[in-house]
């Protein structure tokens, strides 16, 4: 692990545990790489806040000033967005709808300083019969619905207020061969919904057990694609610490095992224990983790998520590697790597419909879409070298899937 990566983990540990952070770096280049990584992982305000005392006493005021302005602006924008969201949510309740809030503001509430945990959007799970009314309320409030016929997620934006909402018809794309089946774990989401107090109001959400399961499986979905970031680990560890005692760990463990996400989930909590200061989870969670023995080896998972950026977006090569990992999950342990590479370069029509919608009407143009895709990829990524990099990243991440027993 690089020194600046250790510094980021130390800063996050201190922030999460409300303790002073140690400044481990001395070189200007390392500090620059730290702030770059913190911004990439969307945790810069938290890191800057935790490191501020050490930088002041150690003569690092110039370093702090370089990032403080950005952090304060981010915090102010987040506070404003949260207030607007809660006003809008109250309007939805007044109209008789009851969408369930997931992630976002509920995760922020777990942090010592909530507005330093930034969110790009707010997510709502909406019952299908309530979708028309919810959209009507949002449009009346000045929001633009970008694709009202979308299969799973309806994107709503208010550019004036800077608020972005994602309305989920289902928590996972039902058409996905790899993780569409995860929706079955949330069939009773509305029946078992819970009212949750937040600063400035009250919202409805999944019950604690379902919400923890969703947080884990949402990160798992991104892990199967091209990765996810350290902020999601912080969310999951904080949620486990705060609500783990309300969870039926036998049932949660069974569902994670069905999804082949149990070893993955245990190692997420292990990252929190080893690097983020979570010395003790609720008793049942600790007992569940203890059952994994030598399979608790979180170093490679941590390295992957630090390299991936938020939701695996650190590079186009990494993003394009996702077809390799998804095909590997479809193929299972007996799949051939050469076959996966071919399917990555020449995907099935259903995998290209979003990028090339003309394939819906003209399926015989699939070879043309392949050529168009390859040409676009080369222009965006620098040609064959980046293609090789994607294949290399994909192969490495397939081994990671095997290590954490996603592929068995």
pLDDT given at position 338: 47
Task: Report the C-alpha gap between 375 and 151 in whole angstroms.
Answer: 28
Whether pLDDT at 13 is above 90: yes
Residues 215, 239: contact at Cβ < 8 Å?
yes
Tell me how many helices (H) and strands (E) the chain has. Answer: 18, 7
DSSP string, 260-324: T-HHHHHHHHHHHHHHS------HHHHHHHHTTGGG---HHHHHHHHHH-GGG-S-HHHHHTHHH
Task: Report the C-alpha gap between 125 and 167 in whole angstroms.
Answer: 6
pLDDT given at position 225: 83
* pLDDT tens-digit readout, 40-99: 999 998 998 999 888 876 556 677 777 777 778 888 888 888 888 999 999 999 999 999
Residues 3, 25: contact at Cβ < 8 Å?
yes
CATH top-level class for 81-206? alpha beta
Whether the predicted model's global pTM rises above the 0.85 cut: yes
| Of 246, 292, 287, 242, nearest in space to 267 by CA | 292
User: Can you read off the two tokens belonging to residue 403?
Assistant: 């290590």
Whether pLDDT at 177 is above 80: yes
Whether pLDDT at 395 is above 90: no
CATH 3.30.460.40 location in the chain:
81-206
* pLDDT tens-digit readout, 25-53: 888 888 889 999 998 999 998 998 999 88
Residues 309, 227: contact at Cβ < 8 Å?
yes
Rg (CA), the chain: 22
pLDDT given at position 375: 63
Task: Report the C-alpha gap between 303 and 71 in whole angstroms.
Answer: 25
């Amino acid at each position: 692990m690089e020194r600046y990566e250790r510094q980021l983990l130390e800063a996050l540990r201190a922030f999460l545990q409300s303790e002073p952070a140690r400044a481990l770096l001395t070189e200007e280049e390392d500090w620059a790489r730290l702030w770059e990584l913190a911004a990439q992982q969307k945790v810069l305000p938290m890191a800057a806040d935790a490191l501020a005392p050490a930088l002041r006493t150690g003569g690092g005021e110039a370093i702090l000033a370089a990032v403080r302005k950005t952090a304060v602006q981010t915090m102010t924008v987040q506070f404003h967005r949260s207030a607007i969201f809660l006003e809008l949510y109250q309007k939805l309740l007044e109209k008789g709808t009851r969408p369930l809030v997931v992630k976002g503001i509920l995760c922020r509430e777990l942090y010592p300083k909530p507005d330093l945990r930034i969110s790009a959007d707010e997510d709502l799970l909406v019952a299908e019969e309530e979708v028309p009314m919810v959209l009507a309320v949002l449009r009346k409030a000045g929001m633009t619905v970008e694709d009202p016929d979308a299969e799973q997620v309806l994107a709503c934006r208010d550019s004036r207020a800077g608020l972005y909402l994602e309305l989920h018809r289902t928590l996972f794309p039902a058409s996905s061969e790899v993780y569409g089946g995860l929706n079955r774990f949330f069939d009773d989401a509305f029946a078992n919904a819970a009212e949750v107090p937040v600063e400035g109001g009250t919202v409805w959400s999944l019950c604690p057990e379902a919400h923890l399961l969703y947080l884990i499986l949402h990160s798992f979905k991104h892990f199967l694609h091209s990765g996810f970031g350290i902020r999601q680990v912080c969310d999951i560890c904080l949620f486990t610490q705060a609500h783990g005692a309300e969870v039926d760990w036998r049932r949660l463990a069974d569902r994670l095992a069905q999804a082949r996400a149990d070893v993955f989930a245990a190692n997420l909590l292990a990252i929190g224990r080893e690097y983020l200061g979570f010395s003790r989870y609720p008793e049942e969670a600790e007992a569940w983790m203890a059952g994994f023995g030598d399979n608790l080896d979180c170093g490679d998972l941590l390295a992957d998520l630090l390299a991936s950026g938020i939701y695996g977006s650190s590079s186009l090569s990494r993003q394009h590697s996702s077809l390799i990992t998804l095909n590997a999950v479809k193929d299972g342990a007996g799949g051939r790597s050469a076959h996966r590479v071919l399917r990555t370069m020449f995907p099935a029509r259903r995998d290209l419909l979003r990028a090339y919608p003309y394939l819906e009407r003209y399926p015989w143009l699939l070879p043309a879409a392949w050529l168009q895709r390859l040409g676009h990829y080369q222009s965006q990524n620098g040609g064959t070298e980046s293609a090789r990099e994607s294949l290399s990243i994909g192969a490495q991440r397939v081994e990671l899937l095997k290590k954490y027993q996603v592929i068995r």
